[in-house]
Structure 1
């Protein structure tokens, strides 16, 4: 059974809600899924997942939410190579913010690529200006990718 580690960066709960909906979807497909809340690099590495799924909203001026930033910083500073590991990133944002739209997700995607992880697909960007319920876009995407 393949393992999936879920890490979430949320400000108002939207990314957490997507993760709550993704958990049973992925388990129903036969994956062993663990949501790391809060995400801790040592715990995630110890779980030895086949795939990392990162779901993040964007805050401030394109910043990573406080709930995910320590994990992101640990990955950036310790640089654990993800060679042979897959990853997927779902970015939640609002395109009315211009250049900072889904900036946190983009930063995470870029870092996972630098760590030599293998993206299972391009980052999914979910625009709150077009979609009221992010899970309506995220769940079909996840079902297709996994």
Structure 2
């Protein structure tokens, strides 16, 4: 399989990194090449890779610090050749639930990227081990890619 996935991680406390690691393991098990970037920069992404954005939301609906500069890079970028997935982590007791993931999807869409599946918004109140929920969501999607 020659599809390559680049996981772009936005994380404050580490949960998004655990989710990205679980997604990466599921992808590698299927034979895909995977790169994880915890300090994403557009210049570090293989131009032929499929993007997998995995981010939490911080504060009053903001992106985590480690992915903010990357989001700014996307502002005026032509992303027409990019295929992507989005996984967001959040707490539904906040009215800004998964705003970080929604903000990233908006930037991707504005740039013309192609969303490959409906975004997954994981509510940590209902899924205390969010990586399990992410892999459960991903498995049937991978069946369509093989």
Normalized against structure 2, the TM-score is what?
0.92
1:81 equivalent to 2:78? Answer yes
**Per-residue deviation at 1:51?**
1.1
Q: Which portions of structure 1, spanning 4 or more consecutive aligned residues, are displaced by more than 2 angstroms?
A: none
> What value does the CA root-mean-square deviation take over the aligned residues?
1.1
Q: Judge conservation of contact 1:7–1:36 (CA < 8 Å) in 2.
A: yes
Equivalents in 2 of 1:54, 1:69: separation in Å? 13
Equivalents in 2 of 1:24, 1:54: separation in Å? 15
Equivalents in 1 of 2:22, 2:49: separation in Å? 20
Equivalents in 2 of 1:36, 1:11: separation in Å? 14
Equivalents in 2 of 1:39, 1:53: separation in Å? 11
Equivalents in 2 of 1:53, 1:59: separation in Å? 19
Equivalents in 1 of 2:97, 2:48: separation in Å? 29
Equivalents in 2 of 1:49, 1:138: separation in Å? 24
**Per-residue deviation at 1:108?**
0.3
Structure 2 unaligned spans of 5+: none
Aligned length: 141
**Per-residue deviation at 1:80?**
2.4
Q: Judge conservation of contact 2:10–2:38 (CA < 8 Å) in 1.
A: no
Normalized against structure 1, the TM-score is what?
0.92
Residue in 2 that maps onto 1:52: 51
